[in-house]
Chains A and B, each alone.
Chain A
């Protein structure tokens, strides 16, 4: 797989404030790449620079081999963008919005109807094509935006916090569309989010904090590297368990009704479990989350 996005030593400064500090990364064609981080980490600045809106301070950024600063129009032709804030024409219908987009991207007249049909079907909004945009719900507007951004068959789709402000059900739906797109159309998807569960679906995650990428890998490997499994055990023989845990050198916390144990090695835990098998009444093993990864790397909880 070739890299469709290549960023090397990207720096973006606003006066004296450095928003993005020497960031480098590549995105493979056809993958879902996520920028994860709290507000103000530099995610939107990076995405806006890649979308040709902002100018870089230094570094090289290319999309599909084209330089983002020097070949703006060429880059604009191969990307689709869904911004954090709505950019639909509220005074027009869904259909009219999509037709206008076709004009902007010089889509051949003969294909316009067919393409609109296709994108509306994808986001399940065919029945709404004659509706005024202002009459749609927030989730529907987002879907129209996604549909619109696909009209010119972009190679890379940028989604800046695509699900912020949507209800859980619409969020889940949104993700169905995103994954469908990536699988069926081989579109590279570049998104930013601060929802950890969303980042889990991505092929690669870059964690940003304070303008730097602090970790970058697949979600699975990130969790493997930075988090430990937790075992929550409830037992009738608390004294016995405490002794065993201390002897084996586990780090644990005694909570009301259960022990929360950090698992270094599964075999060692198995030994304890087998010795305690008659007194254990409840066992829960928890995998680390990306939030734990974030916490481990930055010492901060992303949700705060």
Chain B
């Protein structure tokens, strides 16, 4: 550890992506204040540039892993992976939104700045090794996303979404913070590694009651963030009310970061008491899969359907968490990458198709899309098949690795029940395919506007990426496997 308080240049460099993101976001905020009545288009470009630079930075600083800032953050394979993931999610969400914001008459730099701040917060969430730092990262990310949810100021639904998200979110964060306080009371430290050491050391073993309470409180906070049952109720309302590109981002970035944080905290600090919290996560995983999949069956609004589907997918990821092994950690990483691609792609279709004021959100409105826009429909189909988990798509391997990890940890019932819920899930995704291809064209698919370049780019990247992961999963899995051991 450094003797002096000031961080060394190497340590600062390890946080280069976060620094770039914050700087770019601040430039955009200032630019927004100065732009007056001019177009906001250049600000969007700054956001794209900032995110690409941050992505590049996160790749290049990876050459020099290690701790920083008095062991409060770490750059390891795990954090590098998730950092790149949330930055890419932010990038795609920005590209998706540019035309959307103009369409809705809400084009301003704030949207971009908020995405960048949120991504920066998530970057800290995935690399923090100290509970207060993790909490600060979570707050940066959350507060930015609360605002994003209510970004369309004059829209009643968006306002409702923002309020709901904010109130329930703050409540959950309070739980988390309270848990951190209990940890400090129990172990006398908030550093994850020190907590673990304190727990493993027989001389200083803190009371089980204290640790269990702390773990429970932290679990509640994080379960809310990943929309795990029984704390999933906010997700459908928020995803439905928020602007479509913001929902896309919220369903991927914060979720991935929260899962990274969950793994980091529970696998590092609470590993010695894993027999206590694993059963709870086991129940939550099963409940999340069941609630998400069965609730999605009845949805007629596509944003709500995708919201419940994202709840269900959180359940699958939790299965990997329960398996509590390096293989499980790698499965979480792979799942989140595949999930990010397919979900962002699906929301890109929604963003494009809903049109001004998000008028067309019924699933039935998609009728005839297969005939009217064969390419869009085909790419969307690939994403839907991947969400089902059909082989040769990323979604299949994601599920496969999750359940493989689960079986290797002898979670037989969870695997069988989880796989059966995935057969249930096939129904509601298939329904979208049915409507696109097998119904008579509806009025909503007439006169579709030309597809904006940003949407088209996101859609192609998502669909081709999904296929690539489905044919050659080693692209990501090898890295995930190598990185997964580091967390322990």
Partners in one complex: no
B positions within 8 Å CB-CB of A: none
- Give A residues with C-beta under 8 Å from B: none
